[in-house]
Chains A and B, each alone.
Chain A
Amino acid sequence: MNPAVHMDGITKRFPGVVANDDVDLAVERGSVHALLGENGAGKTTLMNVLYGLYEPTEGTVFLDGEPQSFDSPRDAIDAGVGMIHQHFMLVDPMTVWENVVLGNEPKTWGGLRVDEDAAREAVVDLSERYGFDVDPDARIEDVSVGVQQRVEILKALYRGADVLILDEPTAVLTPQEVEDLYDVFEELTDQGKTIIFISHKLGEALSAADEITVLRDGVNVGTVATDGVTREELAEMMVGREVLMDPATTPQEPGDRVLEVTDVRAEDDRGVEAVSGVSFEVRAGEVFGIAGVDGNGQSQLVEAITGMREATDGSVTYLGEPMAGASRREHIDRGMAFIPEDRQERGLVMSYDLTENGILGSQHDPPFASGGRLDWRASREHAESVIEQYDVRPPNADAEAESLSGGNQQKFIVGREFERDPDLVVAMHPTRGVDIGSTEFLHDRLLELRAEGKAVLLVSSKLDEVQGLSDRLAVIHEGEFTGVVDPATVTEEEIGLLMAGETLDDDSVEGAAVHDAATDPAGDAETDDDAGGEEVDA
């Protein structure tokens, strides 16, 4: 029998880049297939070829043995290929069933009127057949991200998809929602659907997929069955060398209070309160982690701390001085480094080369500026040193930021901010999109800063990262801390519950909560050596 999907010798070239180089991919009907690789490995490009967004430079796509030639996603959908993007494409004020049928509505009155009953019924049928727990009449804006994702899947099924492509499907989910998604996978494959999902997370591929294809630098490194492979082997396939998974944290006594946040409230751009009274402190030589699903107020909290946004209430004290009303420039001048979450919007000026980007934030300060004049030579040397130390590729200070891959952009930003000689580093998703090898390096560097006595505020939605690096870990949900825990002893399930807004039994939180309130800096002695646990994800 022919495989449901067979991509034969796919090569996709862009000007100057070979995104896919003679890639073969075969996926059996009724199986879950993970497409694993680091950023820039060519996973998304390959799937965009399958979905008809790109035409391959060479090679052919077969569905059930039939060669296909897609001009657009419309052709792919007609052939039974559906894709669920990372960013959902749903209309928020409309209901679930309206979103599902949108664009393919059953019509009555000779095509003039949407047959609402038939449409709703079709959606209910589908939902039941695959055991989806979805209320067809709920509005999209009222349901959780996990449900929204299922609506997207329903949309694809409604359009007759037999092959479902999911792009980084777990990126926006809580651990519990991820489990639910795996159940959905199972239900779908039981009924003969074929699933391909893109991921750069080893654990995810291992637990959800039947087979894993690893891409590296646009080349198919190999396809393996999930049962026959270990994390370490997969990591090596992805990176091309052996990888050490655990950052080694050593216990260390924190020093003076560097940052003190008291009852801070902040609003988002629409004027809706996003941070509702958060308090914590970060000491010198300490990493304070904040975990949480994206969009729970982390961004606004960090912006209020770094001077990007005015807090509506509460106070931020930095190095003993209140920062209320201080401009962004004053924050920079007082030695606060900030790795922003959106590197292409804020962290880098995309049309500037790296020399110019290297002084973003320091453009008024020596050695890059004196008397209002910029010293481009010093700037270039600085950029080159960041490029070299942080392994930014291509190693060219004249390269424009936009020509770098996401991971290399991130490395450059992290390097620039780390090398500022700050007292406090506010790092938001510092390794997002960075490959395993470089992540390892950035983590080591972060811990070096900690050892040098810098204070670090680490915000990440990667559990293993915050858990492995932090001395204390807060979990944020809807603008409030649901708990401050000891990352060495807390379990992933417990953090998952906190992320979903639940509170833990008094037992498990007490120690950490008390510690949080304690003024005794020596309370951190319990930090464990192997706080890293087993983490592999990049």
Chain B
Amino acid sequence: MSRSDAGADGGSDPDRVPSIARRVVAPFVDRSVAERLLISVAAILLSIVVGFVIVLISGRIAQCSTAAWTMPLTGLGFCYDPVEVYVVLFNGALGYPFAVGEPGLFDPNWTPFNLSFGLTLSETTLLIFTGLSVAVAFRAGLFNIGTQGQLVVGALATALTVLAAAPFLPEGPAAGVVLIVVGTLAGAVGGGFWGAIPGALKAYADANEVITTIMLNFIAANIAYVLVLEVFRAEGSSVVATRYVPEHAQYLPWFFPESSDFALLALLVGLGFIGGLYYLVEHTSFGYDLRTSGVQAAAAKYGGVNAKATTVRAMTLSGAVGGVGGSVWVLMSEGRWMASVPALGFDGITVSILAGNNPLGVLPAAFLFGILKGGALEIGFRTDVPTQLVGVLRGLIILFVAMPEFFRMAGRFMGMGSSGPGGPGGSASTAEETGDDSAAVGGGEADA
């Protein structure tokens, strides 16, 4: 409610001086899908331009015996070659489809089933799940920062369930299929439970889900840590981790090298989730309720949507998807639960924002993240550029691509744009008195 109220206040009162925030955000609010894609591409290019400059400056400051690149005419030497950095970043992430040293030439010996590309796809797969988790909650108007915790819980549930169930089944592919299915379900249940808690707190105690999910992240991490440390720790393990689940219960790498921690089947499962969630959101009654709650809570109530139930369901679903991400992390990447869970849930937030919270958009967004991850590793191998600098370049790309989407969402949150009632965008782009009418809602008219 407060959201829409703010919109009506701000929108119907053009006298009020627009704050700087409004002015910054305004250009991004009403953009079509095509415009947003164009903005994203432009943002990547712009981030590369800025990254170029940063690489050059760092390369001038750093000490090295031979210059990697010399500026024509001036003869100034630089330790790092920015062109090389970006070529390796993108080319390397795919496993060098273009010949090294001769960029632009396709290497006929290249196959997609290489280590680097596997690493890229591994990261992509995991981020598909966490990105979807955040996106589903977002569509219901809920900011789930707790995907990380849901992933941790789901991962632990998967590992423990598979470890417990494995002895009862004979080894073999059939048992593997059963264990993976059971493990995935366990992850969904664990993560769903962890998501349902903030959902219920939001629905029945009016507790802000941003706060509760953040808190539950810490609780999840620490409970899981203590449980594994005290009860489920593998004997003789130097780290806090469970035993490995049996080999046959893990996703098989199929064509990719084992060390890439990537399984094509897991990616297919992820694609299935993208399609399934897209269908759920766009083509079911539940999805309609969920989306309507997200964009206009008052209209949802009018349309008979039970706000509380929808909140709990959306958070449970979001948590379940995050939990499946945890199960994939266990059954594809690690083979066991271990205490150092990567920040996949938090990256999922950025992936979701990048995707405009659209399940279909999660795929390219997660793939971009995967490329940056795989490419960063390659830069470390191939060049003298320090990993910290690569981190900066990665962050730049993410920042530049995510900001327009973020502004767009922030603008909607501030009640701007045409869907904010009577917002400045609305009154300008539609017929004259739409904004006027929203002012009349409180006023009314009594003819005499």
CB < 8 Å A-B pair total:
222
A451 within 8 A of B: no
Q: Which residues of A contact B436 (CB under 8 A)?
A: 39, 44, 86, 167, 406
State in angstroms the CA–CA spacing of A350 and B288 once bound together: 14
Nearest opposing residue in chain B for A167, CB measure: B436
Q: Which residues of A contact B53 (CB under 8 A)?
A: none
- Can you give 19 contacting A-B residue pairs, CB < 8 Å? A40-B433, A87-B13, A173-B448, A178-B446, A294-B442, A294-B443, A329-B305, A349-B295, A350-B420, A360-B303, A363-B288, A373-B284, A373-B285, A374-B284, A402-B434, A404-B434, A432-B445, A461-B447, A537-B447
**Count of A interface residues, CB-CB < 8 Å:** 87
Which of the candidate stretches B234-242, B259-267, B423-431 sits at the interface with the other chain? B423-431
Is the pair B437, A374 in contact by a Cβ cutoff of 8 Å?
A: no
Q: Considering the complex, which residues of chain B in the window 1-49 have a beta carbon less than 8 Å from any beta carbon of chain A?
A: 4, 8, 12-15
A81 within 8 A of B: no
State in angstroms the CA–CA spacing of A201 and B8 once bound together: 25
Is the pair B284, A403 in contact by a Cβ cutoff of 8 Å?
A: no
Q: Which residues of B contact A (CB under 8 A)?
A: 4, 8, 12-15, 283-289, 292, 295-296, 298-306, 418-422, 426, 428-434, 436-448
State in angstroms the CA–CA spacing of A129 and B60 once bound together: 77
A239 within 8 A of B: no
Min CB distance B285 to A, Å, is 5
Q: Which residues of A contact B (CB under 8 A)?
A: 14-17, 19, 39-45, 48, 53, 73, 85-87, 89, 167-168, 170-175, 178-179, 201, 203-204, 218, 293-295, 308, 327-329, 331-333, 338, 340-352, 356, 359-361, 363-364, 369, 372-374, 376, 400, 402-406, 409, 429, 432-433, 461-465, 492, 496, 499, 537
Is the pair A168, B285 in contact by a Cβ cutoff of 8 Å?
A: no
Min CB distance B409 to A, Å, is 13
State in angstroms the CA–CA spacing of A421 and B433 once bound together: 31
State in angstroms the CA–CA spacing of A283 and B286 once bound together: 35
Is the pair A175, B446 in contact by a Cβ cutoff of 8 Å?
A: yes
Question: Are A372 and B299 CB-contacts (below 8 A) given A293-B444, A350-B419?
Answer: no
Is the pair B443, A86 in contact by a Cβ cutoff of 8 Å?
A: yes
Is the pair A462, B447 in contact by a Cβ cutoff of 8 Å?
A: yes
Counting from the closest, the 3 A-B pairs by CB-CB distance are A294-B444, A405-B431, A329-B304
Question: Are A328 and B301 CB-contacts (below 8 A) given A172-B445, A172-B446, A372-B286?
Answer: yes
Is the pair B431, A461 in contact by a Cβ cutoff of 8 Å?
A: no
Min CB distance A41 to B, Å, is 7
State in angstroms the CA–CA spacing of A135 and B289 once bound together: 51
State in angstroms the CA–CA spacing of A402 and B286 once bound together: 23
Min CB distance B101 to A, Å, is 50
Question: Are A350 and B418 CB-contacts (below 8 A) given A40-B432, A203-B448?
Answer: yes
Q: Which residues of A contact B448 (CB under 8 A)?
A: 170, 173-175, 178-179, 203-204, 463, 492, 496
Question: Are A345 and B440 CB-contacts (below 8 A) given A329-B306, A373-B283?
Answer: no
State in angstroms the CA–CA spacing of A524 and B4 once bound together: 44
User: Which of B419, B439, B446 sits near A463, CB closer than 8 Å?
Assistant: B446
Question: Are A171 and B296 CB-contacts (below 8 A) given A328-B302, A351-B418, A404-B430?
Answer: no
Min CB distance A49 to B, Å, is 12
Q: Which residues of B contact A167 (CB under 8 A)?
A: 436
Is the pair B440, A168 in contact by a Cβ cutoff of 8 Å?
A: yes
State in angstroms the CA–CA spacing of A384 and B68 once bound together: 65
Q: Which residues of A contact B437 (CB under 8 A)?
A: 39, 343-344, 406, 432-433
State in angstroms the CA–CA spacing of A44 and B427 once bound together: 11
Is the pair B446, A294 in contact by a Cβ cutoff of 8 Å?
A: yes
Min CB distance B446 to A, Å, is 5
Min CB distance A146 to B, Å, is 11
Is the pair B440, A14 in contact by a Cβ cutoff of 8 Å?
A: no
Nearest opposing residue in chain A for B279, CB measure: A373
Min CB distance B286 to A, Å, is 6
User: Which of A204, A333, A432 sits near B440, CB closer than 8 Å?
Assistant: A432
Is the pair A402, B306 in contact by a Cβ cutoff of 8 Å?
A: no
Is the pair A363, B432 in contact by a Cβ cutoff of 8 Å?
A: no
